[in-house]
Amino acid sequence: MAGLGAASELRRAGVEPIVLEARSRIGGRVHTGTELGAPVDLGAAWIHDPNGNPLTKVARDADLATVPTDYDRVALRRADGRAVTGDELDAAYAALESIEARLADAAEDADPEDRLAPVLAGARARTGVRGPVLATTDWMLGTGIPLDLAADVSELSVLGYDEGEVYDGGRDLLLREGAGALIRVIAGDVPVRLDTPVRRIERQLGQVTVVTASGETIRADGCVVTVPLGVLKAGAVRFDPPLPRAARGAIGRLGFGLLDKVLLRYPAAWWTDDPAQLGTVGTSIGRTMSAANLQPVTGAPILAGFVGASYARALERGSDATAVAAVTRRLAAGFGSAALRPDAVAVTRWRADPWARGSYSFLGPGSSEDDRRSLGAQVGRLILAGEHTSVDRPATMDGALVAGRRAGREMARTVNP
């Protein structure tokens, strides 16, 4: 999103970019696969807050079909197979609202060093809920923290719980063709050199030199770097001279989380009432698993099981079969043995992916919005861009796109004043 957005802005300004892509495909962490017989997003998928979101305009202008998601349509079961009742669900929503209000109050006066865990524990205890209501509340917190922020409670700061801004609301959208269709539209006819990892970027007076993994040297008037934060953290790209101290510190302080999917196609749908999400309550917040119902989007009986943060990291250390078993057994505990029998599966491993090394960024203790600003600040003829540099919309596709477009415009003014 960021790199192609930057390239498009450069071309619009009359500057011809050379786009280098390490992968054998475009899109990065946006990747639509067809392994299950229908377009399914293995990475980023939703257009969040679509009213006012620039990606909504991209989809509309390209006549891409979208499907809204109603997150209130949940099907939740206990581990003994009994359904979470409507009264229990209402009580859990009330408890969640109370917790979120206390966290919002805490964020008003929070310091970047303030950790989320003790504040959340206090807010959770004050609700006074017990039993299945508490288990349901914890499932909701799990979908909102490790499955949304891609980080454990212990990894987040108070400021990191509710970071960023919203547009004008609206129900989040999925695309029938998958989010990869957005990538194709944004890329347009921008030429991209695939299978070209970059190893070193040198800054000289008035130009930059990029050295690829094959040893090729490319000289240019400027460079926009849109590799994920995980790649920056790993030092996979060397900067000579090094990035400024503020940027290096930001790379170290910002967190880079993990959200993985276990995609399951069944011979027929065994769930009823067309829920948006299915879940079995009763685990810890960190081991929450939610299954998104993709049938309204794909037309096929497909569920996308989500696991996040340390639980996802642990599953990545095992086999695909282990990850599938973890998700299907949890579903089966609540919904019955039909959940154990998918006829096709796909498992993501974004942390193991060398060109991603995770999913998206978050604020941990000690990091702040200033770190994102430092990362996105222009350094001579070099600009870093991506969701990790977005203050308003971190960890989103649109945040990456806007950051990339901004970097492209800034670089165009630099090289072609």
CA dist., res. 180 & res. 158, Å (int) = 33
342: domain CATH number is 3.90.660.10
Whether 192 and 242 share a structural domain: yes
Range of 312's domain? 75-168+259-347
The reported pLDDT for the residue numbered 32 is: 98
Q: Which of 378, 388, 279, 386 is closest to 334 using CA atoms?
A: 279
CA dist., res. 385 & res. 363, Å (int) = 17
Whether 232 and 280 share a structural domain: no
Sign, CA torsion 377/161/303/288: positive
Whether 391 and 277 share a structural domain: no
Place of tokens 């498009």: 8
Mean pLDDT, residues 209-216 taken together = 98
What proportion of the chain, given as a percentage, has pLDDT over 90?
99
Whether 161 and 279 share a structural domain: yes
Q: Which of 290, 316, 347 is the last residue of a domain?
A: 347
Mean pLDDT, residues 405-415 taken together = 98
One DSSP character per residue, 205-255 reads: TTEEEEEETT--EEEES-EEE---HHHHHTT-SEEESPPPHHHHHHHHHSE
Q: Which of 296, 323, 347 is the last residue of a domain?
A: 347
Mean pLDDT, residues 57-83 taken together = 97
Whether 152 and 7 share a structural domain: no
Whether 343 and 361 share a structural domain: no
CA dist., res. 29 & res. 261, Å (int) = 13
Mean pLDDT, residues 286-296 taken together = 98
CA dist., res. 279 & res. 76, Å (int) = 5
139 pLDDT above the threshold of 90: yes
**CB contact at 8 A, 164 and 41:** no
Examine residue 241 and say whether the peptide bond preceding it is cis (omega within 30 degrees of 0): yes
Structural domains counted in the chain? 2
Whether 15 and 136 share a structural domain: no
Sign, CA torsion 174/175/180/185: negative
The reported pLDDT for the residue numbered 376 is: 98
Cut 0.75: pTM above it: yes
Whether 160 and 99 share a structural domain: yes
Confidence of residue 417 (pLDDT cuts 50, 70, 90): confident
Whether 247 and 118 share a structural domain: no
Whether 299 and 321 share a structural domain: yes
pLDDT tens per residue, range 218-229: 999 999 999 999
Confidence of residue 398 (pLDDT cuts 50, 70, 90): very high
pLDDT tens per residue, range 88-133: 999 999 999 999 999 999 999 999 999 999 999 999 999 999 999 9
Whether 80 and 121 share a structural domain: yes
Q: Which of 308, 329, 347 is the last residue of a domain?
A: 347
Mean pLDDT, residues 264-283 taken together = 97
Whether 336 and 308 share a structural domain: yes
Secondary structure of residue 279 in the 3-state scheme:
strand
244: domain CATH number is 3.50.50.60
Mean pLDDT, residues 17-39 taken together = 97
